[in-house]
Amino acid sequence: MEDLESIVNRVSAKEHVILLHGLLCGPFFMNRIGAALRRLGYVVHNVGYSSRAASIAQLADEAIGGAIRACEAAGASVYHFVTHSMGGILVRSYLHRHPHPPALGRVVMLAPPNHGSEVVDAYLHLPLLKHLFRYLVGAAGVELSTGSHGTPERLGPADFELGILAGCRSWNCLHSIFFLSGENDGEVTVKSTRLEGMQAHRVLLVSHTFIVSNKTAIREVLHFLSAGKFSDTP
């Protein structure tokens, strides 16, 4: 793996990173990643948005559109994205519907439901819980169902430089035993994180929530933003 000192020497003050948290979270979830990026010289925009307030497309336009304008106003030569969970779907939605900005850099997604989540499917089909679930997760959360009914499946392959980190440890036995099939992080299967067109994919022994603060995950985020690939070290 490239040492961090050499990365520091290459990062300019005009290289920005936009952070996007996931569903029912907030920007504080991305604080450890943001701190690591700032130590290396990146300008960080840790974007908060109300994940229950609107559709994925509306959230993407408001959160990402505003962040891009902030980067451009600050004179960024390039801006990357680092996302958690639904934040990755916001990036896909925005880039699917808008021309790619000239300054677009690399994208790293942590635990993204790129083909939706069977957890969403399950709750939407439980008679006693589906209305409560819809209320709790809002319109955007409901859109994270699998198959043609979900938004992720309709966004197509990645046509940008993308690295994906997935988790394979679950603390949610209910979801993992009854709702999810195969390796999963308690909310999303490893299979669902993969996306056609990605440059790199790595599976870590970490859960969906804690991948954003995992030391190995943060190290791999830094490595991909610098080199366009993940490290070969365990």
In this predicted model, what pLDDT tens digit does every residue of 156-185 receive, in sequence order?
A: 999 999 999 999 999 999 999 999 999 999
Find the angle CA(101)-CA(158)-CA(155) to the nearest 5 degrees: 95
Query: Which one has a higher pLDDT value, 6 or 87?
Result: 87
pLDDT at 1: 44
Residue 56 within a domain: yes
Q: In this predicted model, what pLDDT tens digit does every residue of 18-45 receive, in sequence order?
A: 999 999 999 999 999 999 999 999 999 9
Residue 9 lies in a domain: yes
Nearest CA to 35 among 25, 46, 24, 26? 46
Alpha helices in the chain, H assignment, sequence order: 4-10, 31-39, 56-73, 86-97, 118-124, 130-142, 173-174, 190-193, 215-227
Residue 72 has pLDDT above 70, yes or no: yes
CA 44 to chain centroid, in Å, comes to 16
Residue 234 forms part of a structural domain: no
Cβ atoms of 16 and 35 closer than 8 Å? no
Tally of domains in the chain: 1
CATH number of the domain within which 58 lies: 3.40.50.1820
187 assigned to some structural domain: yes
Percent of the chain with pLDDT over 70: 93
Please check whether residue 29 lies inside any domain of the structure.
yes
Range of the domain at 73: 4-227
Residue 232: inside a domain, yes or no?
no
Using CA atoms, how far residue 20 sits from 26, 53, 174, 212, in Å, is 9, 16, 27, 11
Planar angle of CA 197, 218, 181, nearest 5 degrees: 55
